[in-house]
Amino acid sequence: MKVVIEQVSKAYPGRYGRQLCALKDINLTVHDEEFIVLVGPSGCGKSTLLNMVGGLLSPTSGKIYVEGLKDNRDPVIGIVFQDVGLFPWRTVSQNIAFGLEECGLSKQEQRERIEYYVSLVGLEGFENAFPHQLSGGMRQRVGIARALAIQPDLLLMDEPFSALDAQSRMLMQEELLRIWGERRLSTLYVTHNIQEAVYLADRVVVLSRRPGRVISIISIDLPKFGRDKNEYITRFNGYVEQIWRLIRKDAEDALREGE
């Protein structure tokens, strides 16, 4: 499935009847099986854009549409947020089942999918655990499994690992790439972390500070699997430096103004 974003802008009501423009004239295409990462300074509209793609917000102007779906059906979209939002009274399996219940699947079909996605995210043995019994990384795995279990056409991820400690975050990045390698879903991912963006992305979309505009779209020509360490690190650092140069001044200005 392909997602097309054409001349999209988003404004909110501001003080004294003025409008606050969050995003301006965004043009972007997320191709089938492509992993796109949005990066930029605080307040640049990354999450706003992701929420519009997910249908949680409407653009003020412009349009967002999909291509490549059979039978002209609506796309199925899986979303993983920073606050994964697990139901505390539900077990791991029951949390994963939530979306499946809404899809009207039979109990047998639900059990089969839950078993598959529990295995995919490496949570075998924790099916009957409750969220408070899990680490932060494990809770995020449940959130990923829940989003994938509905078999989405598009996966949206809004800073899913930002609340994790550095070690857990690195492990979850590796896990996400492994899972993505099996499913090859069209994915739109939001992060503040440039290293994370380069590590995960096929392309990195760099946004300016508010109102967010596309500064640059950078293709990341790095292997996701079977990486040669020395060559990879050199090229990886080059991409990180390139992106940092693009956003540094905007990031400094946003920090200074408390955005």
Higher model confidence: residue 246 or residue 231? 246
Helix and strand numbers (H, E) in the chain are 7, 9
Cβ-count burial of 166 within 10 angstroms (0-12 exposed, 13-18 middle, 19+ buried)?
exposed
Q: What is the pTM of this model?
A: 0.92
**Res. 152 pLDDT band, cuts 50 70 90:** very high
CA distance 146 to 131: 13
Query: Would you say residue 218 lies in a domain?
Result: no
Q: HSE on the CB side for 125, CA within 13 Å? A: 3
Q: Is residue 15 part of a domain?
A: no
Task: Answer yes or no: is 107 within a domain.
Answer: yes
The closest alpha carbon to 74, from 153, 144, 151, belongs to: 153
Mean pLDDT of 169-198: 93
Average pLDDT estimate for 161-187: 90
Residue listed under structure tokens 């924790």: 126
Is 34 within a domain? no
Looking at residue 18, what is its pLDDT? Answer: 81
Q: Do residues 43 and 209 make contact, with C-beta atoms less than 8 angstroms apart?
A: yes
Confidence of residue 43 (pLDDT cuts 50, 70, 90): confident
Q: Which residues share a beta bridge with 5?
A: 28, 64
Q: Is residue 229 part of a domain?
A: no
What's the rounded mean pLDDT across residues 153-162? 94
Can you state the angle between helices 107-120 and 92-103, rounded to 10 degrees? Answer: 130
Mean pLDDT of the chain: 91
For residue 243, which of 198, 202, 201 has the smallest C-alpha distance? Answer: 198
Of 30-44, 61-75, 198-212, which gets the smallest average pLDDT? 61-75
| DSSP H/E element including 141 | helix 136-149
Report the relative pairing of strands 154-158 and 77-81 from DSSP bridges: parallel
pLDDT one-digit tens code per residue, 82-103 = 888 899 999 999 999 988 988 8
Q: How many domains does the chain have?
A: 1
Per-residue pLDDT at 176:
92
Q: Is the pLDDT of residue 63 over 80?
A: yes
In the predicted structure, residue 204 carries a pLDDT above the cut 90 = yes
* 170, containing H or E segment: helix 166-183
Mean pLDDT, range 62-73, rounded to an integer:
85
Asked whether 192 and 37 are in contact (CB, 8 A), the reply is no
The percentage of residues in the chain with a pLDDT greater than 70, rounded to a whole number, is: 99
Range of the domain at 93: 87-151
Helical pair 166-183 and 136-149, crossing angle rounded to 10 deg: 20
Q: Band of the pLDDT at 259, cuts 50, 70, 90?
A: low
Range with the lowest mean pLDDT among 47-51, 99-103, 149-153?
Answer: 99-103
Looking at the domain assignment, is residue 196 inside a domain? no
Mean pLDDT calculated for residue range 231-256: 89
Is residue 100 in some structural domain?
yes
Token pair of 78 as six digits: 């899986």
At residue 163, the pLDDT reads 84
Q: Quick check: is 128 in a domain?
A: yes
Whether the predicted pLDDT of 129 surpasses 90: yes
* Mean per-residue pLDDT, 72-89: 90
- Between CA 170 and CA 164 the distance in angstroms is 9
Give residues with Cβ within 8 angstroms of 95, minimum separation 6.
Answer: 86, 87, 131, 142, 146
Looking at the predicted structure, is the pLDDT value of residue 142 above 90? yes
Q: What is the pLDDT of residue 11?
A: 95
Dihedral of the CA atoms 113, 115, 116, 121 (nearest 10)? 120
